[in-house]
Chain A
Amino acid sequence: MKFLCVECDRQMQFEERQLPGDGTLAAAFRCPTCGRVVALLTNPMETQLVASLGVKIGGTTLPPQPMETVRGMVATGKPDAFEDEGERGAGSSTVWSSEAQERLARVPNFVRGMVKRIYLDYARDRGIAEITPAVMDMARTELGLEGM
């Protein structure tokens, strides 16, 4: 999938991605010559189809997590299918605000360990000391974590 600014005859460059949380996706592309921006808007079915391929519009920003598609997509997984990996490889002093903890608790058990680790790695890599709902929102948009 590529976008062409026909007027400038230039390939447009990915600018940013937004996940409103309703299953839709918006991805903006900018023409490097004239600066015009267009947005690709996908409906939930289209968003799901892209996610099913295990790829991300705008590129991946995280190393692959083991079975990330299965864990992110299976709705009937056992809550205790996986050991808790929240602390795996962490070793940081990052703390969770109570609001962020509440929000994390709403993530299904089956995928919670992976989600927790992704947020911890995101915070650690950016020197963020406390994970708040705002940090989670930022990470979701930046990393393309639909539904997390």
Chain B
Amino acid sequence: MSLNIRTYRDLTDADRSGLADQIGAQRRRVATRLATVRRVVAVLSGKGGVGKSFVTAGLARALARSGRAAGVLDADFNGPTAPTLLNLPVARCSFRDDAIEPAVSPEGVRCFSMALLLEDGRPLAFRGPDTEGFVWRGALEAAALREFLADVAWGALDELLVDLPPGVQRFQELSELLPVAPAVLAVTIPTPESRDAVRRALRAAIDRKATPLGLVENMVGGPFAGSAAEELAAEFGIPVLARVPFHPGEAVWENVVSKLGRSL
């Protein structure tokens, strides 16, 4: 004879663990922290090595020079480069109330990056059991993203640019953590291979209700042949904001800020 067992949702007594409530409190902490951020912009590609971090830094610096309050959250935990690209000062992380102060670039870009925390030359490694790391490592990186959003004293920002690693997993984590879907700036290089990877990433972003702002085509005029940005722009109905050559001047980024104009 089988037991007549009530199931999870049938049990409604107060639960001291309150795991769902703990998760809810984490989400509220993110929303509260970002209440002073006008817009979160995810810089994504889907393809590695196309210059997302380079574009993020160039755009953030141009935003700051134009008088906007800009922040960069370096979400590439395994290959963080934002501090170098933004010329951040080397300093200990300090605390303000219940949060950690971001580092501030010479132009005034506020930034937080795993590179500020890791020993020089060492990879991101977590404490924990020696085996089955694949089970919990992804959860820990998602937790790190949540804490970078919620526990950094971002303050009032016009734009918080989130520099994503290749692929779409971190974007999905980001969109789940944010109270509203982020805007998206896609970065590609001219090649068909990059086009195909960026197409998938843009599709994933749109599926999650993100608003695509446009495309930046990087490394133009060099050895990479193709018309990825034009093709993607036509397919998704979004603008090509810049075609960035190797060694661009600051005017390239200022032009992107100008083109984004009201949308940023």
Partners in one complex: yes
Chain B interface, number of residues (Cβ within 8 angstroms): 49
Could you tell me if B124 and A81 are in contact, using CB atoms closer than 8 angstroms?
A: no
Known A2-B11, A48-B136, A75-B126: A83·B143 in contact at CB below 8 Å = no
Asked if B26 is an interface residue, CB under 8 A from chain A, the answer is yes
Q: Among the listed A14, A44, A63, A76, which residue makes an inter-chain contact with B123, where contact means beta carbons less than 8 Å apart?
A: A76
Cβ proximity bits B5-26 to A, threshold 8 Å, 1 near / 0 not = 1101001110111110011011
Known A4-B5, A52-B140: A74·B92 in contact at CB below 8 Å = no
Residues on the B chain within 8 Å of A59, using CB? 16-18, 22
Could you tell me if A45 and B136 are in contact, using CB atoms closer than 8 angstroms?
A: yes
Could you tell me if B136 and A11 are in contact, using CB atoms closer than 8 angstroms?
A: no
Could you tell me if B22 and A60 are in contact, using CB atoms closer than 8 angstroms?
A: yes
CA distance A67 to B120 in the complex (A): 20
CB distance from A104 to the nearest CB of B (A): 17
Within B69-108, the residues touching A (CB, 8 Å) are 92-95, 98-100
Could you tell me if B119 and A76 are in contact, using CB atoms closer than 8 angstroms?
A: yes
CB distance from B117 to the nearest CB of A (A): 5
Asked if A66 is an interface residue, CB under 8 A from chain B, the answer is yes
Could you tell me if B8 and A2 are in contact, using CB atoms closer than 8 angstroms?
A: yes
Could you tell me if B140 and A23 are in contact, using CB atoms closer than 8 angstroms?
A: no
CB distance from B118 to the nearest CB of A (A): 6
Known A45-B132, A45-B136: A1·B94 in contact at CB below 8 Å = no
Could you tell me if B92 and A58 are in contact, using CB atoms closer than 8 angstroms?
A: no
Could you tell me if A147 and B139 are in contact, using CB atoms closer than 8 angstroms?
A: no
Residues on the B chain within 8 Å of A73, using CB? 126-128, 140, 143
Asked if A70 is an interface residue, CB under 8 A from chain B, the answer is yes
Besides the known contacts A76-B119, A77-B119, 13 further A-B residue pairs in the complex with CB atoms under 8 A apart: A4-B5, A4-B6, A11-B15, A54-B146, A55-B23, A58-B17, A59-B22, A74-B126, A75-B125, A76-B123, A77-B117, A82-B100, A85-B95
Q: Among the listed A14, A63, A67, which residue makes an inter-chain contact with B151, where contact means beta carbons less than 8 Å apart?
A: A67
Residues of A within 8 A of B (CB): 1-2, 4, 6, 9-11, 13-14, 23, 44-45, 48-49, 52-60, 63-64, 66-70, 72-83, 85, 88, 110, 147
Could you tell me if A53 and B116 are in contact, using CB atoms closer than 8 angstroms?
A: no
Residues of B within 8 A of A (CB): 3, 5-6, 8, 11-13, 15-19, 22-23, 25-26, 29, 92-95, 98-100, 116-120, 122-129, 131-132, 135-136, 139-140, 143-144, 146-148, 151
Could you tell me if A81 and B136 are in contact, using CB atoms closer than 8 angstroms?
A: no
Could you tell me if A76 and B124 are in contact, using CB atoms closer than 8 angstroms?
A: yes
Q: Which residue of B has the minimal Cβ distance to A147? A: B127
Residues on the A chain within 8 Å of B25, using CB? 64
**12 A–B pairs (Cβ distance < 8 Å), ordered by A:** A1-B19, A4-B11, A11-B12, A45-B135, A45-B136, A52-B143, A53-B143, A59-B16, A59-B17, A63-B98, A66-B151, A69-B144
Residues on the A chain within 8 Å of B6, using CB? 4, 9
Residues on the A chain within 8 Å of B5, using CB? 4, 6
Residues on the A chain within 8 Å of B125, using CB? 74-76
Q: Which 10 A-B pairs have the closest CB atoms?
A: A52-B139, A44-B129, A76-B122, A14-B16, A11-B13, A55-B22, A66-B151, A11-B11, A69-B143, A48-B128
CB distance from B77 to the nearest CB of A (A): 9
CA distance A44 to B26 in the complex (A): 24
Could you tell me if B131 and A45 are in contact, using CB atoms closer than 8 angstroms?
A: yes
